[in-house]
Amino acid sequence: MFGRIGTTGLLVIALTACGGGDGSAEVGPTGGKAAPPATTSAGTSATTSSAPATTAPQQSPVQRVLGRMSVEEKVGQLFMPVLYGTAADTVSGENQARYAARTPAKVIAKYHLGGVILFPHNVKSTAQVVGLNNGMQRASKEVPLLIGTDQENGLVSRMSALMTDFPGASEIGATKDTDLSRQVARATGEELGALGVNLDFAPVADVNVNPRNPVIGRRAFGDDPQKVARMVAAAVKGFGEAKIAATAKHFPGHGDTSVDSHTGLPVIKHTRAEWERIDAPPFKAAIDAGVDAVMSAHIVFPKLDPSGDPATLSKPILTGLLREKLGFKGVISTDALNMGGVRKKYDDGEIAVRAVLAGADLLLMPNDLPKAYDAVLAAVKSGRISKERLDQSVTRLLTLKQKRGLLTGAPVASAERAAEVLRSPEHRKLAARA
């Protein structure tokens, strides 16, 4: 609908909003030219010099972009699917089958996507990933993309073929060295940024109090809430220093379960008091440290919401606890919507709608993107999701993009720079020390 707005363009818009630049007559409240100021018999303006000059309030870059978007483009901003191919113009049968579009670039344009998540099948070499990310950014004509990945280090490391092999959270947590947590997160962020990735789904903020936990385990910093909180806060600060968006996960806390939410629906029986003592502290610490996003968990928490819906679809949890009790103002991301834990009760379209109604802003990896996109769009047009609610989510996503410098133009990664940063001697030394 509209192209990117560069710095010069913002200046021109600001000047125009203040009434300067083109010498045209002002526009009156009914849309016609405004009448000139009344004059006295002496021919001077009736407006006295003491009257304050009035100008239209200037809109922020986020407001300007939001105001130019169609409903279809706003809905597209909510989605972050996985795409197939190693270049933006790679023809893939998988893309065609899933999205009815043959290349990543065509999928991005078709659905006005707000973001894309990378997996190992997108990775061959440093130069190739840089080219892929640059190409996908060029394909996003309306607003630059959030390009994310799961680079927790350790067990979950999507970019491990290219990046420094840093130890995972449990090893870092065992050192009790918060500065080490910060440094590793910063180095991880620097390497991701060099590749053109601007969002990491890390750090894990779960407190792993169940030794039989099959899905968190060593991905967590430990089993002590206060230690985990300190480590998480330090990691968030490290990602921020690298100018990479960080994501604390999995809210309201996935640590005390023996069921894997990828395939089943875990039920956590903590009381409200136990949640506040065990699960909440790392998320509160992440928020206090300025975390950009918080990811929901596909877990049932009956003492927090007796409905039986997973947290991803729970307004009492996402809006009531995360927004209102903990005061989080950033982006709420779902965990992957193709996981078994969230697909037990509803179809793929209804899941996406209910996640938005619960308070989610970013809909990660829907199992059926066309169905989910159409369902959210229909819900907005019918009023089930109000336009105000949609604008809230898009505003948060655009605010994150502005914070990371994406509203003034898509970032362009450099293969040469990436080759210098990835697995640099400094980073390998840090990994060895960790």
For each successive 10 residues of the chain (434 residues), what is the average pLDDT?
A: 39 34 33 36 39 67 96 98 98 97 98 98 98 97 96 96 97 97 98 98 96 88 97 98 98 86 84 97 98 97 96 98 98 96 94 98 98 98 98 98 90 96 97 94
Strand stretches in 225-345, DSSP E: 245-251, 293-296, 331-333
Asked if 223 is an active-site residue, the reply is no
For residue 93, the model assigns a pLDDT of: 96
* Nearest to 172, CA basis, from 221, 216, 230: 221
d(CA 128, CA 56): 47
Angle at 411 (CA atoms; ends 335, 247), nearest 5 degrees: 25
For residue 374, give Cα distances in angstroms to 121, 370, 371.
27, 6, 5
Cα dihedral 76, 82, 86, 91 sign: negative
Sorted by where each starts, the structural domains of the chain and their CATH numbers stand as: 1-20+56-68 (no CATH), 69-425 (3.20.20.300)
For residue 11, the model assigns a pLDDT of: 33
Q: Which of 177, 262, 374, 391 is catalytic?
A: 262
Beta bridge partners of 200: 149, 246
Asked if 250 is an active-site residue, the reply is no
For residue 7, the model assigns a pLDDT of: 38
Q: Which of 279, 335, 348, 361 is catalytic?
A: 335
What letters, b where the CB count within 10 A reaches 16 and e where it falls short, cover 169-184? bbbbbeeebbebbbbb
Tokens describing residue 332:
């709420």
